[in-house]
Structure 1
Amino acid sequence: MTRSIARRTAALLIALMAAGCAGDYEGAPGAGSGGPAPGGNAGSIDAFYKQRIEPRLAFCRTCHVPGGVADVEDGRLFMLGVEPGNDQPLLRASWEALGGNGVGDQAESRILLMPSGRDARSHSGGAPWPVDSAAYADMAVMLACFEHPAGCLDGTGGGPVVADAPLLGSARGGHAWFDFCEGRDDSVALPPDPRSLVVPGVNAGKAVFFNAYWKDCHREDVPVGEEDAPTTCGELRDQWARGEALIKGDGAIGAGWYFGGSGLDGNFSAADYNLLWQAWGLPGRPDNFDQLAAERYGMALGTARNPYPMPGENPDASDGGSGQLPVGFTQLRGSDGTWTGNIGVNCHVCHSGKVGDPDEGEGLGVVFGGSNSLSEFGQIDIDLGGSAVPGVPLPLPVVVGKTRGTNNALALQIIVFLIAQDIRPLDPDFLGFALLTPNGGSIDAPAWWNMGHRPVKFQDGFLAMDALRSDFGFYLPGPGPGGFDWVRQHVRAGDTYISSLKAPAWPQAVDTALAEQGAVLFHAKDLWAAELNNPVPRPEAGNGSCASCHGAYAPRYVNDPAFLDTPALEGIASYIVPRDLIGTDPARVDSDSEAAEQHGKDNFFAYPETINADPDLDCSTQNRAEIRQGREVGYLAPPLYGVWASAPYFHNGAVPTVWGVLQPADRPTIWRRVSTPTRPDQFGQVVMGYDTRFARAYDRERLGWKYDVLACGDEGTTPYLDCNPSNHPDDPNLSLLLNLLSGSNPYTWYVGFGATRNEQLEDRKIYNTAMYGQGNQGHDFTAVLTDQERRALIEYLKTL
């Protein structure tokens, strides 16, 4: 620190200490001078300060207070107090510490230059006072009064200061239509879908950037044979009610299930389910069978009744039975309400999880529509000794995830190959796509509660959000006209329910002051400011903040025309970040090759009816070259509603906490989430799932799940192919070969027969970032943040 800065800082500290004893400044001595200011208008200056300046400083006080994120070497030159009534002398002292109004005709105080965005040094709070704003004009008058009190208020206007919108507040996801219809009559017409506002040219030059756009897959000129979107609150409620029965399960009439639509056969019988303890190697049916089934197969037990008949029970005589299924299973019922004793696997096996228990706080427990990182997808097929897929008699000799909690549900080559109406056996381009395209690797399912704020879907924007059929890919009751017709008849209602879901609210108290600092940083801090020397290339547009990619949420910024064209765009994120800029594991985006896009466009799920020479009207595969028109392929930055409840992070679930996302250096290489404690009398005999108890397993400081860091060679990390191939001292060749094969063939990644022993299931809890598709690299531009800024951002994210 130079002597000049040291002297100015000392003067500011003296002013801070003086302010600690200061009271109300109404009528106090002018300009902090200890006496009346020259010109005899001290009272007028004080009145102007109280009316026009003190409210403006509320924003500055968010960060420029002792202990705030601006409490750093340069930021200490402008510091305010905890109480607003004490800030007049501190403002004067800060003005002096920053060199007053400077010298010369063009000189201006940094107090004006930085918040107006005209200082060469960046302002982490952005530019809240543009040159043409009332705040800028008022502060310019006040600083002129500091320098020349006499006559400084001549010609200044009066009037109240418009109150700023708050920094904290969140819609918590869902779809805006449900908020709109709250308390309104069924006949009320719905406003435009906010996602439909995201079209080419929207938000041009604004802080939030969009480069992927809404497509209407249900235009009047394109008959797709599906129910129209609702137009009134009554239609919305009707579709929601039908969709809830279809999607939620819990024994509802009409519930949907895995490759069975809403039929009554189910994936397996309750009688078979009741015998699963035999496959677990237990001597008899345990008294906590329901919990153990949920733990082993990676699902949550909810508080809502979800019955099945236990041994010896008649389901119709016992209202479905006295057993409790996990949320990923549902017993099927006839249209007259009779119970079948057949069980179906539903969407929640991958898309719903659990955070905490209801006794730990309001809103804790089962999380519908969250990103379920609990699932041990497909293990029940192994334990049943046959496939749960209708028509397939044996367990499929593949695994759909290398690690518990991940999957590869969007297996493009397999889906297109199985569903394609013409597999083009002699087309070399098709064979090249089907046999040589890289595998997508591990995927962590996105949260449903963000669907109402995404114009495109999947990790790379592969399809338009209005391409509803893809959401029912695993409900398709067999390819062909019958199955396709069932999807057409039901998909609108299902989507309406799914898009209504809200993210759970953070269950504990929030440090409001710290969260407000985080809100400012999230929306306004330029991570590519010159002095930060960010080595990652700057995005093509936006203001360089988190909001630039992930959307605006704070009411103050949502209502700021510098951020959004209209507040209706609140929370919408639709920026596909180029592959090499985001830098995360490329396996998923590489698997969505041009060949996959070209052959996928004719797939039933991609709405081939909409294929059009006009790319703005074409609703089929969205990453084809003719649709992208020069936009680079990459990963879609998601909205961040309920981000605290959707760990682990990145598209492949490679990072267990938000802290690790923001600080790349702290990401573990091989890690394992903690497991639910085993009951003492069952220790060593059963497999427990990931622990979801909030007090025991959730890291509230780093925002995510607690985990153990493992080293290569620790128990469960063998054989050697589980370790980092570049560092292993023995033989890395097999691991390197498997990664190479997975990167050049879509099927080798699936090789495996699932876990047949408890030890194998335990080992699948280990997440190894050296394995194909599971890298934890990327998002490195947040390395320029300070730890204090990361803590503030994390506190803010709790509020979304």
Structure 2
Amino acid sequence: MQKSLLVLAAYSLLLLAACGGSSSNPSPQVLNPGGDDTSGDTGSDTDTESLSLLVSRRGGHYWHDYCADKPDNTAVPADPREMVVPGVNENKAVLMNAWWQTCQEDNQPANCGELRQRAEHGLALVAAEGRPGAASFFSGDASESGFSFPADAYAEMWKSIWGLSERPLQYDELVAQRWGMPLSVVRNPYPLPGEDPNLSDGGSGQLPMGVTQLREANGSWTGQLNVTCSICHGGAVGTADEAEGLGAMYGNNSLSDITVMFSELARLAPQQAALAIISQNKVRGTGNITNFQLFGTLTLADYDTIPSYLTIQAEPSTGTEDPPVWWNVGSRSAKFYDGGQVVDAKRIELSFHFPDFFNDIEGAKQWILDNQQDSDAWISSLKSPPWPESVLGSVDRSLAEAGAVLFHAKNLWAPSLNNPTPRPEGGNGSCASCHGAYSPRYVNDPTYLDSPLLDGVAAYITPINIIDTDPARLNGNSPRVAEYSKNNWFAYSEGPYNDDGVSLCGNWADESLRGDRELGYLAPPLYGVWATAPYFHNGSVPNIDGVLNPAVRPTIWRRLSKDAPTDLAGQVVMGFDYSLKTGYDAEKIGWRYDELECGSGLALPLIGAATPGVDCNPLDSSGPVLQDALSVLWGNGGLAWNLLNVPIVSDQQIEERKIYNTKLYSQGNGGHEFTSVLNDTERRAIKEYLKTL
């Protein structure tokens, strides 16, 4: 206790020195960095709740919070994000430059009942897992699909692909481990060989959350399986027995290896080779989700787009990306890491389920239009898990309160700090300046936000020369891609348009839309940030320690894997360890990992995909490597990243895909250097605060 008081006293002096020159930080809030939430006079009549430092709404969307305890006929208010327009927060502590744009007429539900209905249908549609109305890969919500595969073949991968002599008792769990997608927490059945799914309520097997059994409109089961959005957007944090709300969860992932999954599904059903030949990722837990060259194939059935599509084939690959969490969707005004589209451009959210577009492109588009509001309503309703104190330890509230003040009020560019990174124009120079305000004490402060309804909204695209993280994702959304997007239906090629005839719901890398705003990366909302490791848009930093202190980031690392069953050791591939007790580092806030040396005793890759962990020169750490040559190719031809890959034929290759090498194209771990001016005491406090969001 005495130590905490000394630390807090030091913070008071430190904050006076660091923040005192900022006109956007009222002195009563700065002088009480560690005060108790329920005490302290700030010199105003504001109630104590509005002065609190440690309150979080845990993401989601304002509408769902508003309707939580209201009857169905309650009118839904305006979306607070609609306030994010030019002029918002001008001269305020929190910066905003990613403007809102409404993209469809039926954007807002009439009342809370309609909002709930939309979300309920969206759950069945997107989460799928055998629910009536589930959608699946390139099939809409149809009960038949040209991409489906039989449950019998899936049930016998232990023999046909793994080469085991008998079916393991824990087969379903081993599939989930091998592909890196947890078993569903709800019943998600498939029939075992010899079972009739309609006489066994779908079957006695249990699927991982990224696979669903197709169903007829009357609810009957088909025995055919297909994959869903959860192959990338489903994951797990902790286990269900560690704390309530933990385990498999939607909209959070750093686990899957979808290249392995599609490679193996292609051996069951040739039609799955449509993605098996296209490597979506090079490292487990990541993807090449917004590869524009691949994405453009979705609208090639609009034949007049083919000429413009061909022009982008020499543009850079976006490379490695870490899927962003869905519980922050409702707190953003723009989507994608570069803010390339407004968040209300919802068509793209169902693109993976785009049905049968070569046979009926107009029908496929209409299916998107008919379902996009429901999918978005469910996605934006999701909440982040709270820090599980029973497993990871109690939050030091006094330290966290000091961290809250530092997060919202410490000017990282104060003259005495000599920060070498260029300073953003405007804002108060704090973490909140880019990531938004969360503590009621600042949310209700008119020098921070124009309205308290902007609580937790992050709408600032940080210029690349300031954030300075790996530029491959940004370079991929090039001027030529922006030009191509003008003809793309998913980029609202039919408008509404600005005065230059460019769609306001299109690609905001287009200079006609963004104006003088520099290109960069959107600073994400930080709800549940403790559960979103690894960090940065490419997943290159395993913990928050490394985010706040660039000096401690590992160069080549591998997250810990779960141990195999004793009788199957060496015979099966296990996934990442997502147990908080064994796989999580509560001190550094992130997943435990092993740091690897250059070379690591592995064989050199033939063309760069088989062993990502050896992209280095063991004889000369600064010398050239094979990937240097390949980077030129990847940086000038997006499809090359996806198509040039050694076929995955061994478990050893799958194991090596767990290695994250920050020297590989698009996987650099530099940037966010402005936090290097923090000292260790300040970092401790900010980390403690981030646990509470």
Residue by residue over 1:488-542, the C-alpha shift from the partner in whole angstroms, topping out at 9 and shown as x without a partner, is 1111111111110011111112111111111111100111111111000000111
For the pair 1:558 / 2:443, whether they are aligned, the reply is yes
Question: % of aligned pairs identical?
Answer: 46
Residues 634, 641 of structure 2: 8 Å contact kept: yes
Q: 2:295 aligns with which of 409, 415, 440?
A: 415
Change (3 A) 1:715 1:478: farther
Change (3 A) 1:162 1:280: closer
Q: CA deviation at 1:381?
A: 2.8
Q: 1:783 aligns with which of 661, 676, 686?
A: 676
Q: 2:114 & 2:285 partners in 1: Cα distance?
A: 36
For the pair 1:117 / 2:3, whether they are aligned, the reply is no
* 2:8 aligned partner: 68
* 1:341 aligned partner: 223
Q: 1:369 & 1:538 partners in 2: Cα distance?
A: 33
SS in 2 for 1:383: helix
Q: 2:688 & 2:537 partners in 1: Cα distance?
A: 23
Change (3 A) 1:507 1:717: farther
* 1:205 aligned partner: 91
Residue by residue over 1:284-329, the C-alpha shift from the partner in whole angstroms, topping out at 9 and shown as x without a partner, is 2111100000001110123321111122211111111111111111
* 1:38 aligned partner: none
Q: 1:419 & 1:762 partners in 2: Cα distance?
A: 36
Aligned length: 663
Q: CA deviation at 1:733?
A: 5.0
Change (3 A) 1:748 1:207: same
Residues 259, 474 of structure 1: 8 Å contact kept: yes
SS in 2 for 1:493: helix
Q: CA deviation at 1:386?
A: 4.1
* 1:544 aligned partner: 429
SS in 2 for 1:341: strand
* 1:270 aligned partner: 151
Change (3 A) 1:455 1:284: same
SS in 1 for 2:153: helix
Alignment of 1:441-460 (within 5 A): 441-460=319-338
Q: 2:528 aligns with which of 623, 636, 642?
A: 642
Which structure has the bigger radius of gyration? Answer: 1
Residues 598, 617 of structure 2: 8 Å contact kept: no
1:408 alignment partner AA: N
SS in 2 for 1:316: helix
* 1:528 aligned partner: 413
Residues 317, 639 of structure 2: 8 Å contact kept: yes
* 2:40 aligned partner: none
SS in 2 for 1:442: coil
Residues 387, 394 of structure 1: 8 Å contact kept: no
Q: CA deviation at 1:189?
A: 0.8
For the pair 1:702 / 2:569, whether they are aligned, the reply is no
Q: 2:109 aligns with which of 223, 227, 230?
A: 230
Residue by residue over 1:539-580, the C-alpha shift from the partner in whole angstroms, topping out at 9 and shown as x without a partner, is 011111110000100111110101100000000001111112
Quote the RMSD (CA, aligned, Å). Answer: 2.7
1:774 alignment partner AA: Q
For the pair 1:506 / 2:403, whether they are aligned, the reply is no
Change (3 A) 1:383 1:202: same
2:20 alignment partner AA: G
Residues 305, 488 of structure 2: 8 Å contact kept: no
Residue by residue over 1:271-292, the C-alpha shift from the partner in whole angstroms, topping out at 9 and shown as x without a partner, is 1111111201211211110000
Change (3 A) 1:159 1:476: closer
1:68 alignment partner AA: L
1:216 alignment partner AA: T
For the pair 1:759 / 2:662, whether they are aligned, the reply is no
* 1:289 aligned partner: 171
Change (3 A) 1:459 1:681: same
For the pair 1:584 / 2:469, whether they are aligned, the reply is yes
Alignment of 1:171-210 (within 5 A): 171-210=57-96
Residues 671, 768 of structure 1: 8 Å contact kept: yes
2:373 alignment partner AA: R
Alignment of 1:529-678 (within 5 A): 529-614=414-499, 618-678=504-564
Structure 2 residues without counterparts, runs of 5 or longer: 33-42
Q: 2:667 aligns with which of 774, 783, 793?
A: 774
Q: CA deviation at 1:368?
A: 1.4
Give the structure-1-normalised TM-score. 0.79
SS in 2 for 1:287: coil
* 1:745 aligned partner: 637
Alignment of 1:83-94 (within 5 A): none
2:284 alignment partner AA: R
Q: 2:576 & 2:636 partners in 1: Cα distance?
A: 33
Residues 115, 129 of structure 1: 8 Å contact kept: no
2:189 alignment partner AA: P
Q: 2:29 & 2:170 partners in 1: Cα distance?
A: 64
SS in 1 for 2:494: helix
2:293 alignment partner AA: Q
SS in 2 for 1:340: strand
Q: CA deviation at 1:791?
A: 1.2
Change (3 A) 1:69 1:782: farther
Change (3 A) 1:530 1:236: same
Give the structure-2-normalised TM-score. 0.91
Give the stretch that moved more between structures: 644-653 or 595-604.
595-604
Residues 93, 449 of structure 2: 8 Å contact kept: yes
Q: 2:371 & 2:504 partners in 1: Cα distance?
A: 23
Q: CA deviation at 1:734?
A: 2.6
1:263 alignment partner AA: A
Alignment of 1:674-753 (within 5 A): 674-716=560-602, 718-719=604-605, 722=612, 723-725=614-616, 728-729=619-620, 732-750=624-642, 751-753=644-646
1:558 alignment partner AA: V
1:705 alignment partner AA: W
Q: CA deviation at 1:418?
A: 4.5
Residue by residue over 1:434-469, the C-alpha shift from the partner in whole angstroms, topping out at 9 and shown as x without a partner, is 222111010101111001011110000111111110
Residues 410, 430 of structure 2: 8 Å contact kept: yes
1:692 alignment partner AA: Y
Q: CA deviation at 1:231?
A: 2.0
Q: CA deviation at 1:369?
A: 1.2
Residue by residue over 1:598-651, the C-alpha shift from the partner in whole angstroms, topping out at 9 and shown as x without a partner, is 111221111122241348982221220100111111111100011111110100
SS in 2 for 1:672: strand
Change (3 A) 1:228 1:735: closer
Q: CA deviation at 1:785?
A: 0.7
For the pair 1:325 / 2:217, whether they are aligned, the reply is no
2:372 alignment partner AA: V
